[in-house]
Chain A
Amino acid sequence: MKQVVTGNHTVSHAARMARAQVVSAYPITPQTQVVEKISEFVADGVMDAKFIKVESEHSAMVACIGASAAGARAFTATSAQGLALMHEVLHWAANARLPVVLANINRAMGPPWTIWTDQIDSLSQRDTGWMQFYAESNQDIFDSILISFKVAEQVLLPAMVVLEAFFLSHTAEPVDFPEQEEVDRFLPPRVATHTVDPAHPAAFGGLTGPDHYYELKYMEHNAMLEAKEVIKRAAQEYGDLTGRYYDMADPYRCDDAETVLVVSGGVASTAKDAVDEARAAGKKLGSLKMWTFRPFPGEEVRELLLGKKKVAVVDRNISFGQEGIFCTEIKASLYGQKGAPPVVGFVAGLGGRDIKVADLLAMAEAAQKDDCPEFNWHGVKP
């Protein structure tokens, strides 16, 4: 059934339909509507869950960790400073191999205080062991949350679904909600093993020396690699159920493209318009939307980009002193490959500055030039 809902309320509905059993969250703009709606669902009894209204994001994640360790399906949502405050225990969730799912509404980090979007908050969590899915639309948000629960519970790694502040969080769009029974078929109740249970006493996370710790990391890495296949299977199953198919690296008019814009999040939607406009003007432009950042779909990126004339990566983020973070990852995927195209990076839209079709066309245009610098700040005011 289609309904017009905001990105934030889409998150709430996804948590409800995924039958999350414990939700623990702390308010932060622009995430607040997510938890307001969930608190209504729980209070009204349309969602059979415990909602722990904690005193901080740190405790929000810790409560999810506790609930997940007990075997329950746990969910939270946050933004920016809140995600940064969780950082320590994001590691804890992943290292404890707990399939918590979190929606992060991308908001730039202060100071100065800001509530508008960029990706530095979520990308700063790159090495915590969380899967990351970047949503292009409200429909994407809903679908990604259901898929990420399924994948997380299979590979035993937590997952983060990321959406942009305001461009998605507060924008209402039609979302096609499946029937609950369809969702239940796709996402049955969690089957948890090794839970904290008085019937099976054990210690969890106790002091571990160099003899064993190393292998645990090896297993965690392999779980993240395994997640690639699990995501593909889950996305296929979800597509068969709903007609909406997802790819970790999702190309748009790339087949004969000479130049490809690599984008993520809602910018991917704008990029499709830019590509259409360029195509109408006879230019061979395509775009590639990165749906997952972790695991990073290196094979798919190579398959889609090797042999192209130029790749321009648009990053709504910056690793200070280096370049955009997706740009580095794309370069790493192409390094040393035969037919690897030159890659140029554009940082754009930090702190919520809009990235319009004209901006993307200008970046594509600049990228095509032989003397285009490897790294560029798009649209910095003099």
Chain B
Amino acid sequence: MAEVPKKLTIPAEEYMCSGHLACQGCGAALAMRYALKALGPNTVYTVPACCWSVIDGPFPYTTLGVPLFHIAFEAAAASACGLSAGLEMMGKKDVNVVAWAGDGGTADIGIQALSGAAERNDNILYICYDNEAYMNTGVQRSSSTPWGAWTTTTPARHFKTRPKKNLVDIMVAHQIPYVATAAMAFPEDLVAKVAKAKGIEGTKYIQILASCPPGWRMAPEYAVKSVRLAVNTRLWPLLEVDHGVYTINRKPRKYTPVAGYVKLQGRFAHLTDEQVQEMQGMVDRNWDRLLFLEKSTHEMAGIPLEAEKAAAPKDKGPAAGGG
């Protein structure tokens, strides 16, 4: 499992320059910045239609210090496979080929190509920055939109009544070497996971929760706070699945109700207290399910489960530069 470092070890090098076109408080911009720090310069990105098709800047500008290949909406994974094969045939064997896609391009229109790549175990790193709706087109619901949320296609009086698609377990079912979740409010964990993934041969999948202040209907200064709450309320557990073995990387010692997370965001403003309780039930059941998976997969693999104390997180406070 990824070692969460004891002190701040995020590389100082920047591979993303200022002048990008993200909204104020964009979680996806921070996620990119941290991921690049872990990846370094020997990296190429392929990006389907998503916020990042715009954030990088219009022709002839780019905000990344590594190549960025734009591709069609459903095509992130397949283009990464093609780039990976092509680069290898051109004698460039150690390049990190990263598919960088939003949740719509991953869980909806791009899931077929992603599933194909994962089944073949092609040597790519697929990173989904998950802001839980089609934010670039103006906040339409995706299959990654959580239960209860308002979007422009699930108006408050008809809010989304189906749960967020569990893409993490779908990817685990492909038996790829590495699946992880991360959150842009926990940069050490994020950087450690991307760094670990780049050293693994085969298909790696990381889903990063990335806040979207306009889409989540909240002030930009809550960008980091909201995502910290998502993790600390156990709504978005930080976990990794290394060759099928589940590890929850952060187990909040204090039980924090999901209501605090919900109250921060206008997209949940219409929910009644009963409905927030319903959401709490989903969060609790999922947490129990993950604890069970962690315990059982460790047992099956004959790996002792680290004491909760040892796994307890050390990082404090919101991410530097966030919000």
Contacts and interface: CB of A to CB of B under 8 A. Distances in A.
Interface stretch (A114-122, A193-201, A295-303, A358-366): A193-201
Nearest to A56: B112
A322 interface: no
Given A62-B75, A72-B89, A204-B70, A196 B65 contact: no
Nearest to A49: B89
A74 interface: yes
A212 B58 CA distance: 11
B92 A50 contact: no
A212 B59 contact: yes
Interface stretch (A28-36, A63-71, A374-382): A63-71
B116 A54 contact: yes
A243 interface: no
26 contacts: A22-B85, A52-B81, A54-B113, A59-B77, A59-B78, A62-B79, A65-B79, A65-B82, A66-B80, A66-B81, A66-B83, A66-B85, A67-B89, A69-B69, A69-B86, A71-B86, A89-B72, A89-B75, A197-B92, A198-B42, A198-B66, A198-B95, A201-B41, A201-B62, A202-B62, A206-B68
Interface in B30-84: 41-44, 46, 53-54, 56-59, 61-62, 64-72, 74-75, 77-84
**Of listed A64, A66, A92, residue having the most chain B CB within 10 A:** A66
Nearest to B122: A52
Contacts, number: 170
B88 interface: yes
Interface in A31-64: 49-50, 52-56, 58-60, 62-64
B79 A207 contact: no
A129 to B, nearest CB: 15
B280 interface: no
Contact of B70 (A50, A71, A197, A203): A203
A197 B90 CA distance: 10
A206 B70 contact: yes
A209 interface: yes
Contacts of A63: 78-79, 81-82, 85
Closest 10 CB pairs of A and B: A66-B82, A70-B86, A55-B116, A67-B86, A63-B82, A59-B78, A203-B62, A205-B70, A62-B78, A72-B86
Interface in A1-38: 21-22, 24
A17 to B, nearest CB: 17
A169 B69 CA distance: 35
Interface in A206-247: 206-209, 212
Contact of B82 (A70, A207, A212): A70
Interface in B223-237: none
B143 to A, nearest CB: 19
B82 A74 contact: yes
Nearest to A71: B90
Interface residues of B, number: 47
Given A205-B69, A206-B53, A50 B85 contact: yes
A53 B120 contact: yes
B87 interface: yes
A88 interface: yes
A70 B69 CA distance: 10
Contacts of A49: 89
Interface of B: 41-44, 46, 53-54, 56-59, 61-62, 64-72, 74-75, 77-90, 92, 95, 112-113, 115-116, 119-120, 122
Nearest to B44: A196
Given A50-B85, A62-B72, A203-B68, A209 B90 contact: no
B163 to A, nearest CB: 26
B81 A204 contact: no
Contact of B113 (A21, A56, A64, A67): A56
Contacts of B116: 54-56, 59
Contacts of B112: 55-56, 59
Interface of A: 21-22, 24, 49-50, 52-56, 58-60, 62-72, 74, 88-89, 92, 195-198, 200-209, 212
A58 B83 contact: no
A58 B75 CA distance: 8
A282 to B, nearest CB: 58
A70 B79 contact: no
Given A58-B75, A62-B113, 11 more contacts: A21-B90, A55-B119, A59-B81, A66-B78, A69-B69, A71-B86, A72-B85, A197-B92, A203-B61, A203-B69, A206-B68
Nearest to A200: B67
Contacts of B58: 206-209
A318 B83 CA distance: 38
B62 A62 contact: no
Contacts of B41: 198, 201
Contacts of A89: 72, 75
Given A58-B78, A63-B81, A74-B82, A92 B66 contact: no
B112 to A, nearest CB: 6
**Of listed B64, B67, B86, B87, residue having the most chain A CB within 10 A:** B86
Contacts of B81: 24, 52, 54, 59, 63, 66
Nearest to A192: B90
B10 to A, nearest CB: 21
**Of listed B44, B46, B78, B112, residue having the most chain A CB within 10 A:** B78
A24 B120 CA distance: 13
A217 B78 CA distance: 26
Nearest to B88: A50
A204 B67 contact: yes
A277 B65 CA distance: 68
A331 to B, nearest CB: 35
